[in-house]
Chain A
Amino acid sequence: MSDNTIQQAKASSRILPGQERYVAPAGKVELQDVDSVDESMPATNMWADAWRTLRRNPLFIVSAILIVCIIFVALFPGVFTHRDPNFCQLDHSLEKSSPGHPFGYDTQGCDVFTRTVYGTRTSLSVGILTAILVVIFGSVIGALGGFFGGWVDALLSRFTDIFMAIPMLLGAIVVLQMFRTSGSIWKIVLVLTLFGWTQTSRIARSAVMETKNLEFNTAATALGSTPGRNLLRHIMPNSFASIIVIGTTSLGSYIVSEATLSFLGIGLPTTTVSWGGDISNAQTILRTDPSVLFYPSAALAITVLAFIMMGDAVKDALDPKSRTA
């Protein structure tokens, strides 16, 4: 606030001492920028706008590069190593790193580098598949409850509460106990979906309830749109942002859950290469050779970190209100 402005304001009208008010010079008022519309700009929408914000976010760039690399390793593990992850020779047991075997060997004489590379696919598939299923299942249940309200909502909400009250790990162990020998990642994906959809459903429900009362929805109804059309064309697209955010952020936690289950010896059997299983095996030799534990843990942490950073960036882009920096 410059003294000059106050002087001007004082001069223009009679102001008693102690009644000075700050009047910003016209050029300084931020609202003008908002008010002026540049009509030569191409029309934009929420998603194009979000993409423009994302592209400039360093957090997004770093996490996107990491995720692309991780996906590449998961798709083509053969590019990085020519060995079979299950080819182990006991006479190499716990040998230190040597040329061609940068991470050394574990107790069974398996090449740690090869196993870490091949473990990527398991963790990534579990994370991505679970996130997709959770988003589909959770948003359908949540959207139906939020949209129809009344007894439908009451019923679906109690149904959600029931699943929410069971701790994920506990429920997963009880179910997985029945399918111990199966080496398919689908058992993990389905179990994590079964006990993980509730959070997404709650968020979808409140997003739909919020969007339902917005003016454009009333306008659509006034123009003769049916409730079903409203839900699909107007409410769902506008509620989708918060669902995408929770989906991306929780992807990392599904990867952690898979590793935790494999660590407890109840997830994937050792024939399926996974980071969690390898960490669990390395646990017994922690005191003699911690490096065997280090590599799969680091790979796991980097992957989860990449997805959490991506979730943060997507959240910033899709929810401008949360942007504070």
Chain B
Amino acid sequence: MGKYLLRRILQMIPVVLGTTLLVYALVFALPGDPVKAMFGDKPVNQAVAAQIRAEYNLDKPFIIQYLLFLKNALTLNFGNTFAGQPVIDEIGRAFPVTIKLGLMAFVFEALFGVAFGIVSGLKKGKWYDSVILIVSLLLISVPTFVTGFLGQYFIGVKWRILPVTAGNDPGFIDLLMPAMVLGSASMAYVIRLTRSEVSSNIAEDYVRTARAKGMSNRSVIVRHVLRNSMIPVVTYLGQDLGGLMGGAMISETIFNIHGIGFLTYQSILKGESNMVVSIVTLLTLIFVVCNLVVDMLYAALDPRIRYA
């Protein structure tokens, strides 16, 4: 286990380096001169411009810039935005909001997705199975931003159950609708995955054996069917946790939540390369770590998998 973990962590290094280099190259290739943009309509003062360029390392060749970025990133120093704010402060302000939103969406999707999936997989063909299946198909087909607008219109404006937008420093109630919207499509995937796993596992030989040995229905379902069905579901959920942080961009834009997604989108539009690269680096790290945790969870769920 320890050896496997070490190998996986070593494998993560080229992935993180490669991803940051790729994103850095893409952002670097963005057109437009941010220094020129800082002057607005005023004439560009060459001396000041050169000083700013030097300060942000913009005068050095691309690969040096990247290495300098890496060196600073190791000490969590991501530099300043063009407005002079330290990038890490801005991220630090936005991140807790997105973590809160992402975790709420994750709990929503895992809880309801698995529950509905089990109900529907165990009772295939019943009327509520069909209802669950149709609703999950609809949630997958309707894009998140449409779900968001519909939620805003009906729940927020017409019935006034939940607040329409979240704004600054949102609380649990403010984030409830955005989290549900963010998690809805993934929840539908979890329902479908759980349903197909449960219904195929219930027909397996080991389930028949367990029943033949006189095990109660409850234990058969919990110990044999569910435990085996959860492996692919846990994989999906683990990969999706990183995806939720990235996907938060849509819900945060619609509901006016000042989280990471909102910040990233604004930074890309403004050409804040430092900010974009820093956020993507963080998201990549989260994603890679989530994947590692999922692989470790396999061993707990499936005794056949042992990492040597």
Contact = CB atoms under 8 A, between A and B. Distances in A.
Interface of A: 158-159, 161-163, 165-171, 173-175, 177-178, 252, 256, 259-260, 263-264, 276, 279, 283, 286-287, 290, 293, 297, 300-302, 304-305, 308-309, 322, 324-325
A192 B21 CA distance: 20
Contact of A165 (B199, B268, B287): B287
A322 B201 CA distance: 10
B152 interface: yes
Contacts of B31: 178
Chain B, interface size category, equals 35 or more
B203 interface: yes
A166 B19 contact: yes
Contacts of B203: 324
Contact of A162 (B22, B200, B243, B253): B22
Given A260-B144, A322-B200, A305 B138 contact: yes
Say whether chain B's binding surface is mostly helix, strand, loop, or mixed.
Answer: helix
A167 B265 CA distance: 13
A170 B11 contact: no
B283 interface: yes
A308 B140 CA distance: 9
5 contacts: A173-B249, A304-B140, A308-B137, A322-B196, A325-B124
Contact of A324 (B23, B29, B196, B247): B196
Interface of B: 11, 14-16, 18-19, 22-23, 26-27, 29-31, 124-125, 137-138, 140-146, 149, 152-153, 157, 196, 199-200, 203, 242-243, 245-247, 249-250, 253, 264-265, 268-269, 276, 280, 283-284, 287-288
Given A286-B153, A287-B157, A170 B137 contact: no
Nearest to B202: A324
Contacts, number: 124
Q: DSSP majority for the A interface?
A: helix
Contacts of A287: 153, 157
Nearest to A253: B140
Nearest to B16: A165
Contacts of A304: 140-143
A169 B249 contact: yes
Contacts of B253: 264
Given A162-B15, A166-B22, A324-B203, A293 B149 contact: yes
Nearest to B154: A290
Contacts of B269: 177
The listed residue with most B CB atoms (<10 A of its CB), out of A252, A304, A308, A324, is A324
Contacts of B284: 165-166
A302 B124 CA distance: 25
Contacts of B124: 324-325
A178 B246 contact: no
A171 B18 contact: no
A260 B137 contact: no
Contacts of B141: 252, 300-302, 304-305, 308
Contacts of B138: 301, 305
A171 B249 CA distance: 12
A286 B200 contact: no
A280 B29 CA distance: 28
Contacts of A165: 15-16, 19, 284, 287-288
Nearest to B125: A325
Given A159-B18, A167-B247, 14 more contacts: A158-B11, A158-B15, A161-B18, A165-B287, A167-B243, A167-B283, A177-B268, A252-B141, A297-B146, A305-B141, A308-B137, A322-B196, A324-B203, A325-B124
